[in-house]
Every structure is written in C-alpha cells, then in structure tokens.
Amino acid sequence: DTGVSQDPRHKITKRGQNVTFRCDPISEHNRLYWYRQTLGQGPEFLTYFQNEAQLEKSRLLSDRFSAERPKGSFSTLEIQRTEQGDSAMYLCASSFPGQWDNEQFFGPGTRLTVL
Amino acid sequence: AQKITQTQPGMFVQEKEAVTLDCTYDTSDPSYGLFWYKQPSSGEMIFLIYQGSYDQQNATEGRYSLNFQKARKSANLVISASQLGDSAMYFCAMREGGDYGQNFVFGPGTRLSVLP
C-alpha cells in the first residue's frame, strides 16, 4: 500500500501523560500536514512541513504540541501533558507541488482518547 | 468570523437526483484555492475537486462540479446523478496565504444522505 499511513490508529491515555503519533507520507511527497478533527467538525490545521522544515504552525497550537520531520520523510506529533480537550482524531496528509494546486492525500488518522 | 461557512448541516437527496452543497468563504488574499473533500463513515478524507481563484471556468471532475461565484465568495459543490455511495460528510476547504501559502481552513461540513 503506497498511501499515507499513521500509527497508532487508536490511543487511550490518562490525563497528564505524553503521547506521540507517527505519520508516513506517500514517498515522493515533500509536503506534510497535521490536522486535528473533533466529532462533528471539520479538520483544524495544526502544522505544515516542506521537506524537513516546519514552515507553518497554527496560532491555536498549544506549546504542549510539537511536531518533527527530521529527515523529510516520516513525521511525529507529540502532545505533552495531555488534557481531556486533546481527545480528537489526528489526521496527517501529504502532497506534492503541482498536483491540483496541492491536492492532499489523507491518512486514516489516529484517534486519541484522554481519560 | 468563520472563514468557511457551510450552512447545511444535513441534506437528503433521492438516488439519481442532483444535489448542491453550499459553501461560502471569506478571505482578503487575491490568490487562494478552494477544495471539496468527502469523508465517509470509515473516516478517511477523499479529495473530490479543486478550484483556483484565478480559474475562469468552473471545475468539473466526473459527477462533481464546482459552481464558483467569485464576487459572491461562494464555491458550491454539485453532485449529479447521486449514488448510495455518495452518503458521507462533505467538507469545503480553502488554501490561503498567497501563491505559496499552505494554511488550509475547513468548513464544518454537510452530511449528505442519499435515499434509495
């Protein structure tokens, strides 16, 4: 399968714990995005990488959230000191410039539940 | 203020009929892109169609077409000949921030139910 993959698919954690999610984009895609989606809402943009550089970050993103893409391939999203309000689906997407002005291919998401 | 507004939380359409899903947007950027995505119950977001702010013609992709009215800042999705498999959430999204901006904003979505 050559689509975007995310791991884990589900994560249950206790409030105050740290969690880390991984995203593997489509191999030739140099752009990678993280989104958060809560029930009944559209995805909310979190951050964007072009290769290994983090070029955009939502102003709404708490400093408890950090993302990396060290070699311009896979990316990780870490949430420190989780809160119940962090419970959501975390979506990763990748794209390649020039296709449909940045058509994004989404992964299946990681569903986080904070108890 | 909401950047993307989808005023129809839910829509019903009879199989084989056409349906229009509304989307209005708000931006001051002269260059932007508009997208529609489908999210079935399985959860994965599926790209449907794209319209650039400078495109003169409305985008079409198979049974999907985008009714782009720039002056009114609307980008409605038209699905022709609805199929049962079209039942899903539909999200309108905008890329703004100029020609190289990568800030995407999604609307709240419209749930479409296709009736047999």
Residues of A in contact with B101 (CB under 8 A): 56
Q: What's residue B8's pLDDT?
A: 95
* Distance between A100 CA and the closest CA of chain B, angstroms: 7
Separation between Cα atoms, residue B59 and residue B68, nearest integer Å = 8
- Residue B2 predicted with pLDDT over 70: no
pLDDT, average across residues A43-60: 89
Do B109 and A109 lie within an 8 Å CB cutoff? no
Residue % of chain A over a pLDDT of 70:
94
Do A41 and B108 lie within an 8 Å CB cutoff? yes
pLDDT band for B98, please (50, 70, 90 cuts).
Answer: low
Separation between Cα atoms, residue A54 and residue A40, nearest integer Å = 28
β-strands A65-68, A75-79: how paired? antiparallel
Q: What's residue A58's pLDDT?
A: 86
Name the residue among B33, B93, B103 with its Cβ closest to that of A56.
B103
Do A100 and B44 lie within an 8 Å CB cutoff? no
Q: Where do we find the tokens 């000191």?
A: A81
On whether any CB of chain B is under 8 Å from the CB of A6, the answer is no
Q: Which one-letter amino acid corresponds to residue A37?
A: Q
- Tell me the two tokens of residue A2: 């050559």
Identify the CA nearest to A63 among candidates A88, A49, A46: A46
- Residue A115 predicted with pLDDT over 60: yes
Q: What is the pLDDT of residues B12-23, one digit of tens each?
A: 999 999 999 999
Query: What are the residue ranges of helices labelled H in A49-90?
Result: none
Mention every residue, 6+ apart, whose C-beta is less than 8 A from residue A26.
A2, A3, A4, A94, A96, A105
Separation between Cα atoms, residue A77 and residue B52, nearest integer Å = 30
Name the residue among B44, B52, B103 with its Cβ closest to that of A106.
B44
- Residue B99 predicted with pLDDT over 80: no
Separation between Cα atoms, residue B18 and residue A36, nearest integer Å = 31
pLDDT band for A101, please (50, 70, 90 cuts).
Answer: low
Q: Which of residues A102 and B108 earns the better pLDDT score? A: B108
Q: What's residue A102's pLDDT?
A: 63
Residues of B in contact with A90 (CB under 8 A): none
| Helix, strand, coil percentages for chain B (3-state, nearest 5) | 5, 50, 45
Q: How does DSSP classify residue A103?
A: P
Q: What is the pLDDT of residues B25-42, one digit of tens each?
A: 999 888 889 999 999 998
Q: Is B86 helix (H, G, I), strand (E, B) or coil?
A: helix
